[in-house]
Structure 1
Amino acid sequence: MTEENENETPQGAEGEAAEPVVPEAAEAPAAETPPEEDPHAVRIVELEGEVARMRDQLLRAMAETENLRKRAERQVEDAHRYAVAGFARDILSIGDNLERALDAIPDDRRGEHELLQILLEGVIAVQSDFLSVLSAHKIERLDPMGEPFDPNLHEAMYEVPDSDLPNGSVAHVMQAGYRLHDRLLRAARVGVAKSATVQAPSAVGEPAADAPATDAPDKEEPIL
């Protein structure tokens, strides 16, 4: 009985190999999740950006307002300074007529007649008062005789050749100009001095006046 029991094998275990025991692997640590953003901090950043934009808009509006204020002040100042510009421009012809009346009487004949002399003195007095009134309103008379020609103040009407004045200077004042403060009311009409032109060179083929005469070369006789 004992031997039979020893030779017996347990049922279901015949032909099966024992499976090796595998140790369990250690579990990997779980990945850390980023912390959630604080909604209050996000709101603070948004508000700071909005404040910066509003501050920039405020500065721009203040600068534009300052520019408008300065422009308005300049316009008011110009309105006061140049309020009489239109009226002054209209009465300049009165001064021109007074000058024409004085120029019409030659200097050598002004003392021939007593009545003419009295009339002449009256015209001179009127002209003096006229210029005084203009000066009181900051209107300056421009008489640029002998001064260099300035296209900003003068209007060239003609040229005066062979003048003793430097080239480009005012040789004759045809009509005086006027200026209100720093604004030109009327340009002075003038004649500009022009230096004498340089003598043109002689025509082609003509000998120069100072060039010495040269003898023509002798013609060679043909060899027979």
Structure 2
Amino acid sequence: MASDPTAGGAPAEMPVEPDDQIDIPGKPEGDLQQLQAEKADLQDKLLRALAEAQNVRRRAQQDVERERKFGIERFAKDVLSVADNLGRALSALPSNTDSIDPALKNVIVGVQATERELQSALERHGVTRIEALGKPFNAEFHQAMMEIEDPSVPAGTVVQELIPGYLIAGRLLRAAMVGVSKGGPAARPASNEN
């Protein structure tokens, strides 16, 4: 015979009202505060870790962009010597090509075309030539190699370009080596333009 717990010897359990407080053995009230403090600490650590991850991602993107812009810098410096040699070859040629042999004239035209193509390739990759002649001397972009006496030009003006200068993505790749006028009235101060 099955015994009914409410009918016989054992007392029936009383329903718990929501307002009643139950003491759970082994869980003092201080544990709740400790858990809340741990939760706040973990949230702080999570936010810091997320911020650090975002900073690392941003720095990596900046590094990739910098490498994309300036990664060819060493190669570009090496190619500049080729451009210099082509420029020297062109400057050594006679200015009047009418009286020379047609075969030599074709070589001259070929060297000129090669020099233009090289300059175009450099510009496509962000390497631009610094325009120096006739501009006020600017130590950021020019390296003075000599002073030239010329009273017709304001002092401090670039009157001769020995070796052209170049920028890569707006940053100096090689300064222009120039001759600067030391005669005439003073030139206006150089701006930060090339």
Query: What TM-score, normalized to structure 1?
Result: 0.61
Q: Offset at 1:182? A: 2.3
The residue aligned with 1:94 is 82
Query: Aligned letter for 1:64?
Result: E
Q: Offset at 1:174? A: 0.8
The residue aligned with 1:114 is 101
1:164 matches 2:127: no
Judge conservation of contact 1:163–1:171 (CA < 8 Å) in 2. Answer: no
| Higher RCO (CA < 8 A, seq sep 6+) | 2
Q: Offset at 1:170? A: 1.7
The residue aligned with 1:66 is 54
Q: Runs ≥4 in structure 1, deviation > 6 angstroms?
A: none
Q: Which runs of 5+ in 2 are unaligned?
A: 1-27, 186-194
Query: What TM-score, normalized to structure 2?
Result: 0.69
Residue 152 of structure 1: SS of its match in structure 2? coil
Residue 138 of structure 2: SS of its match in structure 1? coil
Query: Aligned letter for 2:108?
Result: L
Q: Distance in 2 between matches of 1:75 and 1:120?
A: 43
The residue aligned with 2:142 is 154
Q: Offset at 1:56? A: 2.5
2:45 to 57, 67, 87: 57
Identity across matched positions, percent: 39
Q: Distance in 1 between matches of 2:149 and 2:33?
A: 81
Q: Distance in 2 between matches of 1:72 and 1:163?
A: 54
Judge conservation of contact 1:143–1:173 (CA < 8 Å) in 2. Answer: no
Q: Offset at 1:126? A: 1.5
2:169 to 164, 178, 181: 181
Q: Which has the larger radius of gyration?
A: 1
Q: Offset at 1:175? A: 0.6
User: What is the CA RMSD across the aligned residues, in angstroms?
Assistant: 2.5
